[in-house]
Each structure stands twice: as structure tokens, then as C-alpha cells.
Copies of this chain bind each other. A is one copy, B any other.
């Protein structure tokens, strides 16, 4: 087993002091030639700085914490994946912190040590105010995904717009009745605000078109077990050419499956628009509102990195606009 190579080995090989090596590592001022020489040795010896020594000495940790709720949704995994990949490109590590229990939340809030191990923290689709408080006093920069806060960098999707687009797509077919399949959220660690923004956009456009969407046309779905099938069944059989907005592709999938067992043709016997554009949606022919998941994850990573380098950079609020993906169901 190869003896572990330390900063001292590099220094000796490159004929410089350890301080200089540290400076090329951390972007201090070093002459171009020595920098290159040191870099060369680092590569040759496959040197990796010991993160713990770094942290002890008060430097950067090269890590960013990614906090997200207990979601079994494709969305969060894709988000995490692109986030992690982007970070990796900059030699940063992702510390995965799922909020799966009150205990974990509590620990995060009380154990100062925990947060000290990262240079920044990203919180995705978590209702910030009810979990970390109105203005969490993290020592690290905080980046928010699907949440808006004046004091922090935020990345959001224009959900309202997406909802409006969904309505427009459905309206084209001049259906008689509209329905929405919405999440019924009870877990205080999971945000559902953005889902209601989608719904509001949807409802607004419908109203403009003269259709006053009745509240009892909302079908509430459990995040994990989906919408009650009998309700969906009822809509599909009782109404003529109904239009359905599934606020998440998950729910749209169920509708499609039920329809197939009924022999109902999407885009003809009923109309359906989802939200997300999950992997299966293409094959399933689902017309949906796509949010750029991968871009969001990558952007979060980039903003975190920028913020780490420059704590005083102006706060950045990014809003991604979802796009319409027209396929067979509407």
C-alpha cells in the first residue's frame, strides 16, 4: 500500500515551502512557473489534500451540503445527481443530508459542528420558515431551491407560468370539464407551495376563458400512493372528454394506466397534461410541462461555488421558465 502523500512531500519534490504548495492549492499569489511546477508534482504523485487537516487549519472544506426532504420522487434524485456531478467537476464533494426525521432536523439545527464541515448549504424544496426559521443563522452561505427569500440566493421555477401553459394546452381541445390532481401534503418538511402556484396559474387561465374551476374538481393524491383510483376512474367514465391537469407526472402516469385498462384513448377520449417531464413521459406519450431539473441542480452548484469564492457577490435570484412538451395526451 502506497504511503500517503502529504503536502510536505509535494513541497520537497517541487523544492518549495509547504506554504507555497498551499497557496497554489488555495489560489494565493504564486508565480506562474512555480505554480506549474507544483501542479506537475501534485499530479505525478496523485496528491489529494486531507480535508480534515484543511478544516482544522481553518480553511475550506470543499464540500457543500445538500438538504432535501424525504421524497421518493424522481425529481429529487435527478436534482441531486446533476448537483453532485457539477460539484464534482470543481473537485467539491456533496454531503447528502436527507431530512428523513425530526431527529435529523433537530440535529442540523443544534449541532454547530455539523454545518462547519461544509462551505455552503443548499436546501431544496423544504419550507424554510417552518423548518429552519424565518432567517436561519447558518455560518455558511445558504442557497435555496424552490423557495424565495430576499437574503439568500434562490433558484425557482416559474410554476405559475407552467400552470397557465397547462391550462392553455387543455383549452385547445375545448373540453367540457376540467380536473386537477394535486398533492395532499402533511409532512411539514416537504414544501408544496410550488404545487399551488402551478394550480393557481392553471385556474387563472381557465377563469379568463370563462371556466370557473370548482374546488371539488381537485383530486387529492397522496405523495406516495398516488391519487385514489376510483376517483380517476369516475372522471374517465362519467364525463365526456374530460381535461386533467396532473400537477406531477407521477399522477399523470396513474391516469394513463387506468385509461388504458378502460380502453380510453388519451388525446381523444380525455386530455391530460403533466408536470416535470419524467423519464418515462416520452415513451408514455405524455404531454407535460417540463422543468429543467438538471439545469436547476447544476445552477445550484454553481451559485454555491460562486458564493463560496465571493461572499459579497450580490444576491442572485434565478427563475427558470418551464417549457411545453407536446406529445399525445393533449
Q: Quick check: is A111 within 8 A (CB to CB) of the other chain?
A: yes
Interface centre among A225, A260, A280 (most CB of B within 10 A): A225
CB <8 Å contact, A48 and B101: no
Q: Quick check: is A300 within 8 A (CB to CB) of the other chain?
A: no
| A52 nearest CB across to chain B (Å) | 4
Q: Quick check: is A195 within 8 A (CB to CB) of the other chain?
A: no
Chain B residues closer than 8 Å to A230, beta-carbon distance:
257, 260-261
Chain B residues closer than 8 Å to A258, beta-carbon distance:
229, 258, 261
Q: How many copies of this chain sit in the oligomeric assembly? A: 2
| A119 nearest CB across to chain B (Å) | 14
Chain B residues closer than 8 Å to A224, beta-carbon distance:
74, 280
Interface string of A46-90 (1 = CB under 8 A from B): 001011110110000000000000111110010011001100100
Closest to A230 in B: B260
Chain B residues closer than 8 Å to A114, beta-carbon distance:
93
CB <8 Å contact, A113 and B50: yes
CB <8 Å contact, B261 and A229: yes
CB <8 Å contact, B77 and A100: yes
| A329 nearest CB across to chain B (Å) | 15
Q: Quick check: is A265 within 8 A (CB to CB) of the other chain?
A: no
Q: Quick check: is A107 within 8 A (CB to CB) of the other chain?
A: yes
Interface string of A213-248 (1 = CB under 8 A from B): 000000000101110111011000000000000000
Closest to A260 in B: B230
Chain B residues closer than 8 Å to A257, beta-carbon distance:
226, 228-230, 254
Q: Quick check: is A186 within 8 A (CB to CB) of the other chain?
A: no
Chain B residues closer than 8 Å to A226, beta-carbon distance:
257
CB <8 Å contact, A84 and B101: yes
Which of chain A's residues 89-147 have a Cβ closer than 8 Å to chain B? 93, 96-98, 100-101, 103-104, 107, 111-114, 117
Q: Quick check: is A318 within 8 A (CB to CB) of the other chain?
A: no
Q: Which positions in A face B, CB cutoff 8 Å?
A: 4, 48, 50-53, 55-56, 70-74, 77, 80-81, 84-85, 88, 93, 96-98, 100-101, 103-104, 107, 111-114, 117, 222, 224-226, 228-230, 232-233, 253-254, 257-258, 260-262, 280
Name 29 interchain pairs, CB-CB below 8 A, sorted by A.
A4-B112, A50-B56, A51-B52, A51-B117, A52-B52, A52-B53, A52-B117, A53-B56, A56-B56, A71-B72, A72-B77, A74-B224, A77-B98, A80-B100, A81-B101, A84-B103, A85-B101, A85-B103, A222-B280, A224-B280, A225-B253, A225-B280, A229-B257, A229-B260, A230-B257, A232-B261, A233-B260, A258-B258, A261-B261
